[in-house]
Every structure is written in C-alpha cells, then in structure tokens.
Structure 1
Amino acid sequence: MKKKIYVLLFAALVSAPLAQAQTKKKTKAKVKTEAVIQEPEMERQVVNYTVESGESTAEIFARTITAADLSKYLHVLASDEFEGRETGQKGQKLAAAYISNFFRENGLIGPVASNPGNTYYQKFNLEQATWKAAALKVGKKQFVYQKDFFLFGDAPEQPTQQLDLVFAGYGIDDKNYSDYRNLNVKGKTVIVLAGEPMDKAGNYLISKSKEASPWGADSRAKTRAATQKGAKNVLVIESSEANLQKSMEGLKHWLDSPMIAFPGKDRRNPTIFVSPEVGAALLNTSAKKLQAYQNKISESGKPVPSEFKLATGVELQTEKVRSPLPTENVLGFIEGTDKKDEVIVLTAHYDHIGMDPTKTGDQIFNGADDDGSGTSAIMEMAQAFMEAKKAGAGPRRSILFMAVTGEEKGLLGSEYYTSNPVFPLANTVANLNIDMIGRTDEKYAGNKNYIYVIGSDKLSSELHDINEIANHQYTKLELDYTYNDEKDPNKFYYRSDHYNFAKNNIPVIFYFNGVHEDYHKETDEVDKIMFDKMETITRLVFHTAWELANRDERIKMDSNKK
C-alpha cells in the first residue's frame, strides 16, 4: 500500500478553497513541514515534507500522486497472475479483490448496501454465448465457417435464417459518393464489397489520396450505415482469399472467445465476412465478372448499377449455447461534507481481454495501458483524496471511485451502473473517465506531454473550462481535442465508459492517450508504460475532480453537443 501521510501543520492551507488558491502567486520561500508516514508491516518513520509558500491545498495532496505508486499498482494488475482480467474469469476476480482490498485498507466506504457480503462489489449477471454451429448455404453448396467465411458480432435468437439479399456496391454512404441512392435495404441482408474504390491514378475515390478513408479502412462505417438504414444483416465480400485468411488470423482470439452481453438483451445480428468465391456465388456471377464491375467503378469515379441477379435459397445458421456469467463493478466511496448528497464519479475499466491458449509463446493479454493504467490512476486518486480527508481537507461533495467491468464487451459495467445507480443519477455532478494514459500514439511519438480530451464541452462548458484551468495552473499538458470532433471517424466519444453517463445527461470527460501498436495485443506490457506521464495525467484528473468537489456551485448543463 502507499505510504499514509498525516500532515501536521496545514491549518491555514486546509481552509483555503481551490478557487482562491488559483489566484495566488508562488514565492521562492519554502516552509518545511514534518509528516509521519505509516505503512503496514513497516517501521514508522519521519520525513521532511516540503510545501511551497502559496501552494494550494489541492497541490499538497496532488503531490502524493507519484509514478512509483502507480507503477506498484500496475505491476500487480497487469501481472501474468491476473491472466488478462477477462470479464467474469479468474483474473478479473483477482483484480476485483485487489482493488476492493485497496479501497478498504485506505478507509474508503463500500457503498453497495444491497451486497452485504462485500459492500465494495456491485454484482450482476451477464450471459456468455459460444458458437454451437455456424454454416452458410447458397443453393446446394455449403460453405465452411472459419474457412470460407466468418461471423463477427452476436448471434440472433433464431438459429437459422433465410437471407433476403440486396447488393449495395461498396456500401459507402458519403455526401459525394453513395451506394444507397434509390436503394431500399430495410429488413434485408446487404452485400457490400470490402475496401474503397480507387481511381486510375491509384488514389482512393473518397479520400482522394493514397490513404483509405474510414469507408475503406475497415467495415465499421459500412456496417453502421447499413444498420441505420434498417438492414437486418451486413455481408462483406473480402477483396481476396488471402485477405480473408489474414482477417481471421488477426481476429482468432475474438472468434474463438464467448460473446458476452446482458441476458435477454436484443441482439444485433453479426457481420458476415466471406471469401470472393462465396461472394461470387451470392451474386450469381464469377470472380472475373465481379472484378470487371469494380473496374467500371474505378473508371467512372462513381457508383455503377450492377446487373447481378442475386442468389436465392441462401441460408445462414448461427446457433449459440448460452450460460450465465457473474461479474462485478468495484466501488469505493468518500463521503463529502456540506454538499455530500452531490457525487463526482471517477471511472476506469479494470477488465481486459484475457488469454489466447492457441498462441505460441506469450498467451496473456496483460492490458497494462488498456486499462490497467486508468485503474491504477483511480486507486491513486482515491488514496490522495482520503489523505486530504484525514487531514481535515476532505471534499465538500462526495466522490465515487469505480472500477468497472465488461468495458471490452461493450461498456457493460458502466451500463449496468447507470441503469442501477448506487447514488441517484440526478445527484451525479460529472463523470471523469480514464482509459489508457500510459503510452504515446504515433502522432506524439517522442512527446509525452499531451493527453486527448474527449467530451468535456458536450454537456457543460463549465466542466471544459475547469479542466482547462486545472491544466494551465498545474500540469501544463497539451490538451488535444482531435477526437472530440463529431466528424472524427474513430468515434471514441462513444467507445468508453463515460458514454453511459453522457447518455444520461451527466457531463463527462474522457482522458485518453490514443491507440498505439500494442493496443489489444499481448505486447501491452508494464515495461512499456511511461509512469511519469501517468503521474502528470493523474494529477490533472485529480485537480479537475478537486475543483468539481469543492466549488460553491454545481456545474451547469448548458450545451447539448453530439
């Protein structure tokens, strides 16, 4: 556990609110303050604790947030012993116990009265589903799962479907290029070609460059467009047999793992990826004629109506076996003082994607950055706020520190909490969510002094300003709002746990270092984490939370951006 600091001489500082402290100028004069440090199973010791004159109370306790402590927690969370922290599995349970014990030993309250066995756990049941059978039949020809095609996503309730097909070219719905003009796809299985058409110069038609647009980079934009137009299924014809095999190899861990969801929840039909041979059979054509059709699009630079007469008697079998999967969010609570009924929620997901026993060598996805880094950060902030409380500088508003489960399966833990809140959502002031803060992405290679900030101005301009001021005053990071743009194709605003709070009109900030080469790979290891970067970002979140918890007025909802 982190050393417990009991500050002896902070009477004047403790009484100073953050807003006042932010206006003070620091002087070179320093006051040395003695602090007693206690640690279980260690001798008591006395150290010098230096406080700069004019330093705010928030700064005093922010400096208890250290790279060394963050490293200590993360080395446990991302250890092989925790087996990749797969939702509902042994490693996730070990991580939950570690986090709850940390909260308990540091004096946080377990607020879940409905679970008297462990009031730090918010328990709930998910459902895991494994493939019992998967088959695709076109006329009399049967194609083999994970050879000729694969399914990515959940399975519908009906185990066998007759597919009503419609062909939508490349499946693009861009303002200057749309395959959906005059095309009704409601209730049908939409067949689309993978990738993006290119012009004669070898540039992609949509991006008009050598780099594919989001329409060509992967299938998500195409699946989203078809689904929004009412399609029942989406079927993607890969550009080559080699590409299909490469995709299956890269996704093998997910294809072989159970799908996890809430019991009885409406299930989205899977996206079906097929080889060119299967695609030609579905379109009742040959691979040569299909290539000729694609060449026509490249030559014309716009969608071309097809003359394909689609196959009939197409049958998809997608049957799964379902079983219950218990899991838990881990909650630690610090009660406020005069505004204790209002709550700030700090979140990070402690689950990851587990293990892949089919791999040779390293089989464990340790998830050091994703999101062991964020989980370590909320643990460290919980301890810092508790030290403040012990010194008489506890927060005015209450703070809930929550390590959520099931994020990798679709933001399930945060969805469960916002549907079954321990504290009323109406009393929840804001959610600060931390997901990956220990690495750099390609854009910032060699520069650790940044963080992507997402969602801060979507519902409250005051929240945005508070974070900006805290950064300017204390941490001086480059705050990058690239992914806050609604037009950004990555749609990160919708892809972490803060979104379930935002859906309930609770102002949010998502802190994120961007995607790197080890994202969702077994190489996301502790030895690649930049703990000094983690320390700075954690202090920024701490300062923002401190101001939210201690200001006189609750932040206002004054915007409704997408």
Structure 2
Amino acid sequence: MNKSLYPFILFLALGAGCAPKPTLQGSGNTSQLPAKASNLSEAAPKYAATITAADLSKHLHILASDEYEGRDTGQKGQKMAAAYIAKEFKEDGLVGPVKNSSTSPYYQTFDLEKSAWGEGHITVGSRKFMMQQDFFVVGSSPYQTEETAEVVFAGHGIDAPKYSDYTNLNVKDKMVVVLAGEPRASNGNYLVSGTSKASDWGNDPRTKRNAAMKHGAKSILVVTGTNAAEFNELTERLKSHGKRPTIGLKSETNGQANTGMLYVSPALGAALLNTTPEKLFAYRPAANGKPSTNAFSSAKNVKVKTTRDIQALPTENVLGFIEGTDKKDEIVVITAHYDHVGVNEDLPGDKIFNGANDDGSGTVAVIEMAEAFAQAKKDGVGPRRSMLFMTVTAEEKGLLGSEYYSNNPVFPLANTVANINIDMIGRMDKKYERTKDSNYIYVIGADKLSSELHQINEQANQQYVKLKLDYTFNDENDPNRFYYRSDHYNFAKHRIPIIFYFNGVHDDYHQPSDEVDKILFDSAEKVSRLAFYTAWEIANREERLKVDSNKQ
C-alpha cells in the first residue's frame, strides 16, 4: 500500500481508450448458456473451499522470497513475479486478454518514466526561489529550459458544475496559481458540496491538475501550508524523494502534454501574485459565492526552469480473463498490486523488502480466486459476467499501474461492473494485536457508490465467513484516507463501485521485516473467501450493481 498521510503528497507521480473485446479460447467449458441460478448459488461453497491457507502459503513463499528481490517496479524481481503470476493464470485456464502484445497476452506493458531532478528555480523580478527548497515539482516537468511564464490566479483551482474558478478565465499555456483545499460558505459548509463534507477537489490534487490541463494550462502551482514551517513539514517527504530518482507515468498521454504540477511555498505563491501570504490566505469568494479570480495582480517578470533527466522504465500489469456466459460483456475486476519497494543496499543486515503482506498477500489471494472461478467454468458453473483478474504494477510509486489501466482499459470502463481490491491481508494491526484477534477485516468503500455492494458483502460474510467487518477506515472523516490510497481508487474515480479489503498497518510496513513467517494464513484464507463470495454474487446476480450512492 502507498501510505502517505497527506492526500496531496500521496500522488507523487501524476498521469480511455477501449481495446477490442477479447474472446475466451481453450478454457475448458466454453458454453455460453448460464447454469441455473440455484445451481450457481449452491456451487459457490465448493469453489470457495479451493482457496486454502496452504495454497496461499505456497504462492507467497515464492513471490516474497529473497530471490524476487523485493519486486521493485521495472526491476528483475518484478519481472520474475509477473512471469510467475502469468504462468499461474495460464495453467489455471485463464486467457491472456491483451491484444497485439509484443511480449505476452497476459501482460499490459507500458513505459513509466524514471527521472531525476537537475537545476531548478523560479525568479520573480530580482527574487530567486529554488526547486527542492521553495517549491517541488510533482510528476513531469514542463520547463526543461528556462522560459518566461505568464501567471494567472485561479482561486482554488476548482471546475465543478456549481462552482468554477475557470469561468471567463483564460489559462491556456499559462502558469496557474491556486490555493490548496476548497472554499467554504459563510455558514461553514463547502461551496462545492453544499455540506460540511469536503469533495475530491480538496482531497485529491490530481483533480485540480486535470481541470487545469482541460483548460490548457502549462502548469498549476498549489500554494501549500500557511507559513514556512507548515510548508516544510508538509513537503518533507517530497524533499526526501527529490534527492533520488522517481518514477511516474509518461509525460504525454494521447499526444497531449500533461500540465505540470508544483507545490509552492506561501512566500513564492504570494510573490507570483504581487501580494503577501497574509493577504493571499485572506482570499474568499465573492459575497454571492462566485470566484473572485481577479483579486490579485500577477507578477510580470517571471522565469522558470525545472530540468529533469528522464529514461524509460518498462513495466507491466498482469491480466487473466474468464469469459462469462449470458452477461459476458459486463466485467468484474479483481485487483491487487504485486510490486513492492525492492532492495536498499545502504541498510545493515537484511536489505531486501520482501513485501509479504504488502502486497504479496493480496496478490496470492487474486491467484487463488482466479483458480477457483476457472475451475467453476470448467465444471459448467462458470460466472455469468466475465471476470478480469489483474495484478497491477507500480502501486508503490503512486497507484500508477491501476491508473494506467483506467486510462487505457483493455475492456470498456462503461462495461466494468465493480472492482474488488485486496491489499495487505493476513496480519493484525496494533488495534487487534492487543487482543490477539485476527478474525476481522477492514472494509472500505463498499457503500461509497453502491448500497447494493455493501449489502452483498455483509450478506456473504454473515452466511459463509463470519469475520468482524470493521468500517473504521470507511468513515469519510478518518484522517488516514485509505479510500484514496490503493488501486481501487482509480476505478472509483470513474464511478465504478469498489470494495477494498485491508487488515491495517503494522510495524513491519515497508520494512525488511515484512516476511512470510508473519502472515496468518488462516486469516488470509477467510478474507480471500469473503472476497470470492462477494465476487461470485456480483458476477452471477440478475441485475448489474446499481450506482446509487455518492459518499466519496
């Protein structure tokens, strides 16, 4: 799991076409007639029972071994893991659905960018502000050589139907300065939502970047923190990351250059707008609740340079497909990320981050669920809807593998019914470790977009598994913001219902000590079976899941 405390620091690298529909080939029973609903319901426990602690352990002892070198994105161990997962999918009878792949139909290959910062500064008149000190570029750089920038203020950078900072504002090819967060009305409610609940405009900075890109901006500068100390605290991780190469999506998508995103200090933000930090943070929308983007007079003599040395880093998502029967055009996607953080040669002793829990545990659950559904198909009780089992790469680099898939789906997102995501199962967090209670799972996101998905999971658990379903992290006010921090979010942002299974964080998180011998495989088995039963119901019910909630 990518575990940043601040949502806007989470996404350190910032990024839908539709490929032809695959057909199933050589996967046992190819009948397109569905089994009777009663037969499908009765068959579920038989195939759930094939998901065992022993099999989960067998796979994880391989994927989280030292031989796989921590499965770092683009490196030898990640490639070995991809090959292992693809082999398991093929042997179980799943089809590789990626057309015209140059390597394997089980691989969705793409290039990330591995890059390192060089010289960088922004000058405002005679004042010079330094990159990695006064500002940080997140993702790709639009200013490889020094150039003059035209600055424009765009309030909070929001472009929503009821409230837009871009109304009558020309930002094409300009440097857009915006405030973090989102504005409130005089009654304390947020202007966008009209309630006390913040929206994605305040939670996910990519939303602001995407809005700026839609309007043709060259860059968007988010003023971060309200003073120098707060800016330094909030950007501490960015400062650390800036000292070493980073990985992100390619800087161009479908031929259009991405808008650059920078987090800037209050002093720099104020200088760009010819004001003081105090006056800048006193900005409020007009009394009628409309933006007042002409509140400041932008600086004129602004030059910027942010050089970055870039090289391609090939990687791959691994996909296995089972074609459905009478509802085969609708797709249920099961995900886990199979990458981890590799090796740190500077450490004494154990240098390999094997990532048994994060997220080897979710990866092997996906492998076992795929085998169970494939066997059901061979036995004539295959799913009505098609199933896509996908282990994604580069989650640890900023949810990049799942973001790439959501931008370049193998199956139309409009046909994607739900995403079930599994990240870090088979351990206890500190809360449950105190009572040695492993019979629980945190459930996140099931009710955010679909009330039916929440009910299906509850019913499956009550009928078959009987775990304690803990919704602590599903609370919209929970400061951990886990809903935004694993791969399911790249489906949820497209309004695809998701459910996220997670056992919580522990002291071995992102440490070499995240080893297989600490996994509680009986617990992982129960969670994997719950995910299976939930997926089975979604795949075989008569009606597609309704998207009837908006609790994000």
Q: Does the pair score TM above 0.5?
A: yes
Paired residue for 2:411?
423
Residues 307-344 of structure 1 show CA distances to partners (whole Å, capped at 9, x for unaligned) of xxx99978653211223332221111223334333322
The alpha carbon displacement at 1:436 in A equals: 1.9
Of 43, 61, 82, the match for 1:57: 43
Aligned to 2:160: none
The reply to whether residue 557 of structure 1 matches residue 546 of structure 2 is yes
Q: Would the alpha carbon gap of residues 190 and 401 (structure 1) be closer, same or farther in structure 2, given more than 3 Å must change?
A: same
Give the match's secondary structure for 2:509.
coil
Answer yes or no: is 1:408 the counterpart of 2:396: yes
Counterpart of 1:180 in structure 2 is none
Whole-Å Cα distance in 1 between the matches of residues 71 and 114 of structure 2?
Answer: 16
Query: What amino acid does structure 2 have at the position aligned with 1:130?
Result: A
TM-score by length of 2: 0.69
2:506 to 505, 516, 522: 516
> What does 1:146-185 align with in structure 2 at a 5 Å threshold?
153-157=139-143, 159-160=145-146
Deviations 1:465-500 (A, max 9, x none): 111110001111122233333444443333322233
Please tell me whether the aligned partners of residues 221 and 264 of structure 2 are also in contact (alpha carbons under 8 angstroms).
no
Which residue is equivalent to 2:89?
A: 103
The answer to whether 1:125 aligns with 2:111 is yes
- In structure 2, give the amino acid aligned to 1:99: I
Q: Is the 8 A contact 2:451 2:549 kept in 1?
A: no
Compared CA separation, residues 314 and 517, structure 1 to 2 (3 A) = farther
Gaps of 5+ in 1: 1-14, 23-55, 172-183, 194-214, 285-289, 291-309
Q: Distance in 1 between matches of 2:549 and 2:336?
A: 24
- Structure showing greater radius of gyration is 1
How has the CA–CA distance of structure 1 residues 318 and 520 changed in structure 2, closer, same or farther, with 3 Å as cutoff? farther
Question: Shift of residue 18 of structure 1?
Answer: 7.2
Superposed CA deviations along residues 196-228 of structure 1, whole A, max 9, x for unmatched, are xxxxxxxxxxxxxxxxxxx9xxx9889999999
Shift of 1:76: 2.2
Greater alpha carbon shift after TM alignment, 219-228 vs 83-92? 219-228
Aligned match of 2:327:
339
Give per-residue Cα distances to partners, 1:431-455, cap 9 Å, x unaligned.
Answer: 2111222333333334322222222
What is the match of residue 475 of structure 2? 485
Establish whether residue 349 from structure 1 lines up as the match of residue 337 from structure 2: yes
Which residues in structure 2 correspond to 1:319-334 (within 5 Å)? 319-334=307-322
CA RMSD for the aligned pairs? 5.1
Tell me the amino acid that sits aligned with residue 478 of structure 1: K
How far off is 1:131 after superposition?
Answer: 1.4
1:458 aligned counterpart, secondary structure: helix
Task: Measure the CA separation in 2 of the matches of 1:319 and 1:400.
Answer: 40
Offset from partner CA, 1:148-200 (integer Å, 9 cap, x none): 87665543345447789999xxx9xxxxxxxxxxxx9x98787999xxxxxxx
Correspondence 1:500 to 2:486: no
Residue 396 of structure 1 is aligned with which of 384, 387, 402?
384
Give per-residue Cα distances to partners, 1:345-390, cap 9 Å, x unaligned. Answer: 1111212233344444444333222222111110011112223333
Residue 531 of structure 1, aligned match among 516, 521, 533: 521
Q: What does residue 88 of structure 1 align with?
A: 74
Q: CA deviation at 1:508?
A: 1.9
1:252, distance to aligned residue in structure 2 (A): 3.4
Once the 2 structures are TM-superposed, how far is the Cα of residue 542 of structure 1 from its aligned partner? Answer: 0.6
Instruction: Choose which of 456, 459, 464 in structure 1 pairs with 2:449.
Output: 459
* Offset at residue 530 of structure 1 (A): 2.4
Is contact 1:365-1:522 (8 Å) kept? yes
Contact 2:68 2:78 in 1 (8 A): yes
CA distance in 2, matches of 1:433, 1:358: 33
Which amino acid letter does the alignment assign opposite residue 535 of structure 1? E
| Matched residue, 2:99 | 113
Contact 1:238 1:273 in 2 (8 A): no
Conserved? CA contact 1:18–1:58, under 8 Å: no
Q: Does 1 or 2 have the higher relative contact order (CA < 8 Å, sep 6+)?
A: 2
1:438 aligned residue: 426
2:499 & 2:206 partners in 1: Cα distance?
Answer: 28
User: What's the offset of the Cα at 1:246?
Assistant: 12
1:550 CA displacement: 2.6
Tell me how far 1:521 sits from its aligned partner.
Answer: 3.8
Alpha-carbon spacing, 1:475–1:188, altered in 2? closer, same or farther (3 Å): same
Structure 1 residue 506 displacement after superposition:
2.7
Instruction: Please list, as runs of the form range in 1=range in 2, the aligned pairs for 1:269-418 lying within 5 A after superposition.
Output: 269=260, 271-272=262-263, 317-418=305-406
Letter aligned with residue 73 of structure 2: T
Q: Distance in 1 between matches of 2:467 and 2:412?
A: 33
Q: When the two structures are aligned, how many residues end up with a matched partner?
A: 481
Partners in 2 of 1:515 and 1:156 — Cα distance?
36
Q: Percent identity?
A: 54
CA distance in 1, matches of 2:526, 2:141: 43
Distance in 2 separating the partners of 1:523 and 1:251: 26
Inter-CA distance 253–102: structure 2 relative to 1 (3 Å threshold) = farther
Partner residue, 1:42? none
The residue number in structure 2 matching 1:68 is 54
Quick check: 526-535 or 265-274, which moved more? 265-274
- 1:38-89, Cα deviation, whole Å (9 max, x unpaired): xxxxxxxxxxxxxxxxxx4222221221222212222222233323323222
Alpha-carbon deviation of 1:105?
1.7
Letter of the 1:102 counterpart: E
Aligned residue for 2:335, secondary structure, equals: strand
**1:17–1:550 Cα contact (<8 Å) kept:** no
Distance 1:461 1:235, change over 3 A: closer
| Equivalent residue letter for 2:328 | K
| TM-score using structure 1 length | 0.68
Query: Take 1:381 and 1:115, find their aligned partners in 2: how far apart are those partners?
Result: 25
Q: Helix, strand or coil for the counterpart of 1:443?
A: helix
